[in-house]
Amino acid sequence: MNESEVIERLRRIATDPAARGLADDAALFEGLVITHDSLAENIHFFPTDPPASVGWKLVAVNLSDLAGKGAAPAGALLSFPLSESDWDRGVLDGIEAACESYGLPLIGGDTIALPPGEIRIYGLTAIGRAGEKTPSRSGGQAGDSLWIAGALGDSAAGLELLQQRPPGTGALVEIYRRPIPLLEIGRSLAPHANAMMDVSDGLLIDLKRLCRASGCGAEVDLDSLPLSRAFIAERGQDRSERLFAATGGDDYAILAALPADVDPVSLSLPKAPTLSPIGKLVPASGLQLRDRAGDVPLPETLGYEHRGSSSPVAGGL
């Protein structure tokens, strides 16, 4: 089964209103935003990665889900598999550093001992305090402007560098290993957004999910996608590279659908990261891409989707 099939089956179980029909990144339960993400060896990280970066990433990807709902970190539960002592210490160092950096208290969890040679799978449940508004994926309306906070493609480019030239170093590799959750700008945008989510599996596939939940389509200007200087220096910025950035995944940017009369420039927002308009929601279903040369056919693969057999890099639920 693939990810969407499993989620569809789980909807028969997840009937509580807090689950939001499993059409969102997180549950909303009595004023708390609750999310869970896992990292699996050889899917989300390499066994040759620095273990501290694995611990950091575990915390960061969960906090990114909270950022996409405009929530403030409140607590976390950790599932930790015991393997090799030096590796375990390194992962715990990374978890500690990320929790301290973002004010996330660790309040409990579970440990389990792995047989020698088994792959490592780490899990974290992050709990956040909801703000005045917790935008879902389903609130988008035709005419809303689409905005991206952060850059696209850096992490996927870093992963490709690691695959081509291990062990790999540089800014793009570091972004892949140590994503930055955009908590502050998430809290600033949430009160104004009709729909909002983090981009974890790739812009196009995540935007498709937002559109499906909101009952609309989207027009996207590829030329407006935010690319970092490091990405452009490594790969360029032609159509093929912009499609790579739009489908690569592991970005942990924020995608927001804002009413057309809301200008984010006029809001009290943090100076970083970059906030870029990339298109709009439209009444028709489906995604429409364009750039300065005209219409752009949709790529065969819109982003990452978990399947029964996976290769490295994956995003969140």
pLDDT one-digit tens code per residue, 10-29: 888 988 889 888 888 899 99
**Does 124 share its domain with 152?**
no
- Tell me the residue type at 62: N
- Do the domain assignments include residue 135? no
Residues in Cβ contact with 246 at an 8 Å cutoff, skipping those fewer than 6 apart: 152, 153, 202, 203, 204, 220, 222, 225
Domain that holds residue 211: 145-296
CATH number of the domain bearing residue 39 = 3.30.1330.10
**Does 85 share its domain with 180?**
no
pLDDT one-digit tens code per residue, 59-75: 999 999 999 999 999 99
Burial of 192 per CB tally in 10 Å (0-12, 13-18, 19+): middle
Separation between Cα atoms, residue 304 and residue 306, nearest integer Å: 7
**Does 117 share its domain with 227?**
no
pLDDT value of position 308: 55
Edge-first strand order for the sheet with 27-29 is 27-29, 32-40, 121-129, 72-82, 106-113
**Does 179 share its domain with 53?**
no
- Do the domain assignments include residue 191? yes
Q: How many domains does the chain have?
A: 2
Residue spans of the chain under pLDDT 50: 309-317
The pair of structure tokens assigned to 175 is: 């972004």
Separation between Cα atoms, residue 236 and residue 242, nearest integer Å: 9
Separation between Cα atoms, residue 94 and residue 74, nearest integer Å: 19
Longest dimension (CA), the chain: 58
**Does 161 share its domain with 205?**
yes
Separation between Cα atoms, residue 179 and residue 292, nearest integer Å: 31
pTM of the predicted model as reported, rounded to 2 decimal places: 0.92
Q: Give which of 227, 214, 40, 211 is closest to 119, Cα–Cα.
A: 40
CA 92, chain centre distance (Å): 22
